[in-house]
Structure 1
């Protein structure tokens, strides 16, 4: 499986689209191609080289993820797999439903309602390689705002659904927010794992695909709700209360 990251709106939204290709068959999908003017040149280059696009995938309906669908469809009239509220969506897979890309890549849909109620993360597996595309649910060192859900839902999304994935699953989020997330993380806890993430974020412009679910369990405070240091920062106990307090504190930064 080959993953090409396509940065969009650098300096403002700092979004990512992802082109994922099955290297055996050259079949590929484009994930969250929200800004066509930045994405289409990459798609043209890929298709000119023999890659066959089969689907658009959306992680949720927000404009900076699904807002490019109409324009992309003009050049690539493809079925759209995504949350039920995504523009022009063709199919919304059930939680746990799987499909394949080419011969090598198995994809599993993981419903993660909270940021939006139609949020879906997508686990891609190709042999021993595992990657999860998390939209605005899980960021490196952080999580999305609770626009359409509550703290309990984000705890379930992060710590039960995504937290149950193999520790070596690489994380590909919808935005490059790591610097801001780790700035908050070091306020919560001065652990070695968080300091290590801070050093990486200071030294690297992009962090997508560089960290795993196992890493997130160590350096992401939203995945450490039972940790005494995190509970001390929030002044709360109980996972849902700690999650809610963390998000409120991050919102007010």
Structure 2
């Protein structure tokens, strides 16, 4: 499995599209190709090298994730797999259902409603290599806003659905937000994992694929709702109340 990150709207949205290729068959999917002018050159280069684009995958319907579908379809007439509200979606997979890319990559759809109700994270597995594409649900050191959902839903999405994945699963979020996330995290707790993330974010422009689910459980305050230090910061002990207070505090930064 080869993952190519394609930055979009650098300096504003700081989005990522991802081209994921099965190296044996050369079949590939493009995830959240929201800004075609930045994505299409990468796709053309890939296709010219022998790669076949088989699907568009969307993590949710927001324009900065699914808004490029129509334009991409003009160049590549492929099915779209994504949330039910995504533009021109062909198929919305059931929670826990699987499909394959090429010969080796198994993909599992994980419904994670909160940021949007149609949010889906996608777990890719190729042998021992595991990656999860989390859209705007899980960021490195943070999580998305609760635009269409509740603190309960985000707690379930992060701390049951995603936390239940193998610890060595690499995390590929929809945005490069790590510097801002860790700036908030250090106001909540001064743990060694958070300090380590702060140092990495300070010296690296991109952080996608550099951290795992296991890392997030250590340095992501939204995945540490039972941590006494995090609870003390929020003044709450019930985990849903802690989640709500953390998000409210982050929103007001």
Asked if these proteins are the same fold (TM beyond 0.5), I'd say yes
**Whole-Å Cα distance in 2 between the matches of residues 77 and 136 of structure 1?**
26
Per-residue CA deviation, residues 125-146 of structure 1 (Å, 9 max, x unaligned), is 0000000000000000000000
Per-residue CA deviation, residues 29-54 of structure 1 (Å, 9 max, x unaligned), is 00000000000000000000000000
Partner of 1:166: 166
Per-residue CA deviation, residues 207-237 of structure 1 (Å, 9 max, x unaligned), is 0000000000000000000000000000001
Equivalent pairs counted in the alignment come to 253
**Whole-Å Cα distance in 1 between the matches of residues 32 and 108 of structure 2?**
16
**Whole-Å Cα distance in 2 between the matches of residues 235 and 177 of structure 1?**
26
Secondary structure of the residue that 1:78 maps to in structure 2?
coil
Give runs of aligned pairs for residues 1-253 of structure 1, distance below 5 A: 1-253=1-253
> Shift of residue 98 of structure 1?
0.1
**Whole-Å Cα distance in 2 between the matches of residues 115 and 45 of structure 1?**
33
User: Which 4+ residue blocks in structure 1 deviate beyond 6 angstroms?
Assistant: none
**Whole-Å Cα distance in 2 between the matches of residues 179 and 142 of structure 1?**
10
TM-score, structure 1 length as denominator? 1.00
Q: CA RMSD in A?
A: 0.2
**Whole-Å Cα distance in 1 between the matches of residues 74 and 27 of structure 2?**
19
Secondary structure of the residue that 1:241 maps to in structure 2?
helix
Per-residue CA deviation, residues 156-213 of structure 1 (Å, 9 max, x unaligned), is 0000000000000000000000000000000000000000000000000000000000
**Whole-Å Cα distance in 2 between the matches of residues 141 and 221 of structure 1?**
7
Give unpaired runs (5+ residues) of structure 2: none
> Shift of residue 93 of structure 1?
0.1
**Whole-Å Cα distance in 2 between the matches of residues 168 and 75 of structure 1?**
36
Secondary structure of the residue that 1:122 maps to in structure 2?
strand
Give unpaired runs (5+ residues) of structure 1: none
> Shift of residue 64 of structure 1?
0.1
